[in-house]
């Protein structure tokens, strides 16, 4: 018996990393039959016990319990939650200071997803080399804000060796997910960390034009530093699943303590009288951009209902 880590889960055969090697493996039918909420029984990031056959392939004997996972937005044809990746040590949201234009709301949406699924989250502000003085001030303010909320923050540029080294250090021996708008520099950062990866990078102008969106199947890519990274899935694949509007503030760490001061248990901290969160906001205890993101996400949750 060998312990393996699932690195690919498309088609009939799976791939697993076993002692630094890649083993093709099969999943016996009994695992598929289990009636569960989740539609894919085995996802990238899953840890398994394998029986190695004479031909060198593996048979999954046991799927170990997941510490966490990130959901993939369900397609209409399938019921239940699809798993994007399991056992994630850290979810990184990667945004560029400039090119493409910085949109703070994107960060908050991803942080909420991570918070809801118990995935430790971090933020990367990339392309610091393009920042003017104003950008730099704004970036430092945002970095400070997120650090105060408890998130790891890195300011990076592919031209700044030190910043790449620091990021590399944080990905060592871990399973990480990079997510961010097309053109933010995710592939470039990974190439800078590990040139052998040789991932395709694209110009922002090309990357943002319509139709260029390619749905990549989630795959765990091995880094030379012993870490694994989920090869950047499309943003559209990540959904806010199963969150009720009145629960949303649970996933904003700075709002959580004020919720108990709300008059209504199902307060959405929007229009309700006697709202502890809105009061805290007026007292300057919640950053206006974060409250604004909260309202935007709330609106999209209410639309989904
Ligand atoms: N100036 C600058 N350009 C960068 C940096 N990182 C990436 N780029 C450029 O941004 C473009 C998009 O990068 P890419 O890695 O394909 O972004 P992805 O879509 O997030 O994977 C490419 O033209 C890169 O050369 C950076 O730190 N500074
Ligand atoms: Mg890319
Ligand atoms: Zn409230």
122 in ligand 1 pocket by Cβ < 6 Å? no
pLDDT of residue 213: 42
Residue 191 CB–ligand 1 contact under 6 Å: no
Cis peptide before 100 (omega within 30 of 0): yes
Query: Do the domain assignments include residue 163?
Result: yes
pLDDT of residue 120: 97
CATH of the domain at 98: 3.40.50.300
pLDDT on residue 291: 97
Contact 130 CB / ligand 1 (< 6 Å): yes
State whether 147 and 14 are in the same domain. Answer: no
138, 278: one domain = no
- Domain end (from 179, 213, 237): 237
Is 242:112 a contact under the CB 8 Å cutoff?
Answer: no
**Residues 37 and 145 placed together within one structural domain of the fold:** no
141: Cβ contacts below 8 Å, ≥ 6 apart: none
Closest ligand 1 atom to Cα of 158: 27
216 shares its domain with 291: no
- Residue 61 shares a structural domain with residue 118: no
Q: What is the CA(242)–ligand 3 centre distance, in A?
A: 20
CB 129 less than 6 A from any atom of ligand 1: yes
pLDDT attached to residue 214: 45
Tokens at residue 183, please?
């053109």
Containing structural domain, residue 257: 245-304
CATH number, domain of 54, equals 2.40.50.140
Pick the residue whose CA is nearest to atom 14 on ligand 1: 185
Residue 12 covered by a domain:
yes
Model pTM above 0.75: yes
My answer on whether 57 and 96 are in the same domain is: no
User: Long-range contacts of range 75-81, CB-CB < 8 Å, 24 or more positions apart?
Assistant: 78/39, 79/39, 80/36, 80/37, 80/38, 80/39, 81/37, 81/38, 81/39, 81/241, 81/242
Are 295 and 216 members of one domain?
A: no
pLDDT of amino acid 5: 97
Domain membership flag for residue 71: no
122 and 231 together in one domain: yes
Question: Residue 116 corresponds to which tokens in the numbers above?
Answer: 């809801």
Q: Is 72 in the pocket of ligand 1 (CB under 6 A)?
A: no
Predicted pLDDT at 182: 87
Query: Reduced to 3 states, what is the DSSP secondary structure of residue 279?
Result: helix
How many Å lie between the centroid of ligand 2 and the Cα of residue 301?
28
Residue 136 lies in a domain: yes
Neighbours of 173 (CB within 10 A): 10
Q: Is 157 in the pocket of ligand 1 (CB under 6 A)?
A: yes
- Residue 102: per-residue pLDDT: 84
Asked if the structure places residue 214 within a domain, the reply is yes
Calculate how far, in angstroms, residue 231's C-alpha sits from the geometric centre of ligand 3. 38
Residue 78 forms part of a structural domain? no
Measured distance CA(267)–CA(259) in Å, rounded: 8
Is 15 a pocket residue for ligand 1 (Cβ < 6 Å)? no
Q: Is residue 80 part of a domain?
A: no
Verify that 104 and 187 share a domain, yes or no. Answer: yes
For ligand 1, say whether the CB of 182 is within 6 Å of any of its atoms: yes
Residue 246 Cα to ligand 2 midpoint, Å, equals: 35
Q: Give the pLDDT means over successive 10-residue stretches in the chain (305 positions).
A: 92 89 91 63 94 95 94 63 90 93 87 94 97 94 96 98 98 94 92 90 55 58 93 64 89 96 96 97 96 94 82
Residue 207 CB less than 6 A away from ligand 1: yes
Return the pLDDT at 84: 87
Ion ligand 2: residues, Cβ under 5 Å: 186-187
Residue 150 within a domain: yes
Same domain, 144 and 7: no
Residue 255 and residue 199 share a domain = no
Tokens found for residue 103:
């949109």
Tell me the CATH number at 256: 1.10.40.50
Number of domains in the chain: 3
User: Cα(255) to centroid of ligand 3, in Å?
Assistant: 9
For residue 185, report the distance from its CA to the centre of ligand 1, in Å. 4
Same domain, 9 and 120: no
Domain boundary residue among 192, 211, 237? 237
Of 215, 237, 259, which residue is a domain's last? Answer: 237
């Amino acid at each position: 018996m060998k312990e393996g880590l699932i690195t690919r889960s498309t088609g009939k055969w799976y791939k697993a990393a076993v002692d630094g090697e890649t083993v093709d493996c099969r999943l016996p039918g009994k695992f598929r039959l289990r009636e569960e909420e989740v539609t894919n029984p085995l996802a990238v990031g899953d840890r398994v016990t394998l029986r190695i056959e004479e031909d060198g392939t593996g048979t999954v004997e046991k799927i170990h319990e997941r510490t966490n996972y990130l959901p993939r937005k369900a397609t209409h044809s399938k019921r239940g939650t699809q798993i994007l990746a399991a056992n994630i040590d850290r979810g990184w949201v990667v945004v560029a200071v400039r090119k493409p234009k910085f949109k703070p709301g994107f960060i908050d949406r991803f942080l909420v997803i991570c918070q809801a699924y118990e995935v430790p989250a971090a933020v990367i502000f990339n392309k610091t080399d393009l920042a003017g003085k104003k950008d730099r001030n704004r970036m430092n303010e945002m970095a400070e804000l997120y650090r105060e909320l408890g998130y790891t923050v890195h300011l990076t540029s592919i031209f700044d060796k030190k910043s790449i080294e620091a990021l590399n250090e944080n990905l060592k021996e871990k399973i990480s997910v990079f997510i961010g708008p097309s053109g933010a520099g995710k592939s470039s950062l990974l190439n800078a960390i590990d040139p052998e990866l040789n991932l395709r990078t694209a110009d922002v102008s090309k990357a943002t034009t319509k139709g260029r969106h390619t749905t990549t199947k989630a795959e765990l890519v091995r880094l030379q530093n012993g870490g694994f990274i989920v090869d950047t899935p499309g943003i559209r694949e990540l959904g806010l699943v199963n969150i009720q509007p009145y629960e949303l503030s649970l996933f904003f760490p700075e709002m959580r303590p004020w919720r108990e001061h709300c008059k209504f248990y199902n307060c959405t901290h929007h229009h309700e009288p006697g709202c502890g969160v809105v009061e805290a906001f007026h007292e300057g205890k919640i950053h206006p951009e974060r409250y604004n993101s909260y309202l935007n996400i709330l609106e999209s949750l209410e639309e989904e209902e």
